[in-house]
A = this chain, B = another copy of it.
Amino acid sequence: MKAAKLMEAKTLKGGGVTSAAGFQAAGVSCGIKPRGEKDLALVVSDVPTDTAATFTTNLVKAAPVKVSMRHMRNGKLRGVVINSGCANACTGVGGIADAKAMTEYCAKALDSKPHEWLVCSTGRIGRRLPMPKVKKGIQKAASKLNPKNGSEAAKAIMTSDTRRKEFAMRFKVDGRKVTIGGMAKGSGMIHPNMATMLCVITTDAAIDKTALRHCVEDAVEHSFNRISVDGDCSTNDTVIVMANGVSGTNVLKSYHPQFTLFKKTLTHVMRKLARMMVEDGEGITRVVDVAVKGAASAKDAKLVALAVAKSELVKTSWTGGDPNWGRIMCALGYSGARVREEMVEIFYDGLVAVVNGQPSKTPIARLRKLVRKPKFTITIHLHAGIGEYSILTTDLTEEYVRINKGE
C-alpha cells in the first residue's frame, strides 16, 4: 500500500481534525483512564453537517457502534463524542443506555438533538462506563471547544498508541480552498475490515451525500482495509467523515471537474492515517509492504497477501532480520490461492530472492541487510494472471507479546 503522490493537494503542516473551516474540537480528562490521561474528545461542526461512516464488520458490535449506526439513519449531524479507556462492548442493554446517554449529554451541552450525535468508545471490552464521570467530561469538553484543539482531541482518543495521529490536506474547488483533515487511533487489534481503530475526518467541502458515501467506502477499502498488525478485527471500529460545506463551493457531484480530486485527497488522508497506525503498531520494529502481483484473480492476490501478513512465522523472521523466504513460500501454499510453486518470484525491495520457486543467486547477506531495515517491500509475483493486492503490515516482536499479555 503505497501512497501515490498527489500534486494538486498540499499537506497542511500540523493539520488535523479541525483544519477544515467550521469545526471545533476538545480533548479532556474525566477519569475513565486510571492515571488522569485525556480520555474524552468532542469534534463538532458549527453547522449541521452531512456525514458518512463505516463500522466494524464484527458481529459482536460495541454499544456505541449500535447507537451510531442508528443515528446515521437520520439527516444531518452536529458532531462526535469519543471516549478512550473503556470499549463499552459486551455490556448488554445497560451499555446501550450508556452510549445513548452520551449523545444526550452532548445534545444538552450544545443545544441540539441526541440523534445528531455519533458516539465512539475504545478500550477494554466487558466493562461499563463510569457514567457520572463521562457526563462531567462531556460538559467540560463542550466548554473547551475550539478550532485550535484538534491535537487535544487526537490525544484523548489514544489507548496503546504511543503518538497522536493527525493529517490534513488542502486543495482548490471552484477557486476556493477546501480542506480535508482527520485524526485516528489504533496500534493493536489491527486487521482489514477494519482495524481496532477510530478515525474522524472533517472537511468543509460541499458534497452530495450519496457521492460522499461512495467516496468514503472506496477510500476505506484502499486504506484502513489494507493494513494488518495482528489480524484481529475489533468490536468498535469506526470511520466517520463529516462534510459541512462551509467552504461555500458548488456541491461536488460525480460530474464536477474537481470531484476526482476530492476523492483522491480523501483517500490520501486515510492512507496517511492508516500508515501512521501501522508505524505505531504495538512493539513493532519493521513496517512491511506486501505486494502481490500476477495472481489468477484479485481474490487470489488478497488471499496470498493476507496469508503472508498474518503468518506468525513470517513476521517473527522479519523481527530477527532473517530473509526466510521459505516461510513466505509456505504461506503462499496454504493461502487458498492458486499457486504454482515453479512460477513464483519473490523480491525484497526489488532484489530477487526467489526465481521459479527456488533460491536466486542474490547473496543472502544482501537480503539480510535489507530485512534489517525498518521499512521494506516484499513483492510476490505468482505469474498466474493479472490479480493484484497489497497490504501494509508489521513484524511480530517479543514487545508485542509483552504489551498484550498484561491487563
Q: Chain A: residues with CB nearer than 8 A to chain B?
A: 57-61, 87, 89-92, 124-127, 188-189, 193, 230-235, 310-313, 316-317, 319-320, 322, 324-327, 329-334, 338-339, 341-342, 354, 356-359, 396-398, 400-402, 404-407
Contact = CB atoms under 8 A, between A and B. Distances in A.
Main DSSP-derived SS at the A contact region? loop
Contacts of A405: 316-317, 319-320, 322
Contacts of A92: 342, 356-358
5 tightest A-B CB contacts, nearest first: A125-B326, A320-B405, A60-B333, A58-B333, A398-B398
Contact of A334 (B126, B232, B311): B232
A333 B233 CA distance: 9
B233 A326 contact: no
Given A59-B338, A124-B324, 12 more contacts: A58-B330, A59-B341, A60-B329, A89-B329, A90-B357, A91-B358, A231-B310, A235-B330, A317-B405, A320-B406, A398-B402, A401-B401
Contacts of A334: 57-59, 193, 232-233
A322 B57 contact: no
Given A126-B325, A312-B312, A329-B235, A317 B404 contact: yes
Contacts of A313: 188-189, 230, 232, 404
A96 to B, nearest CB: 11
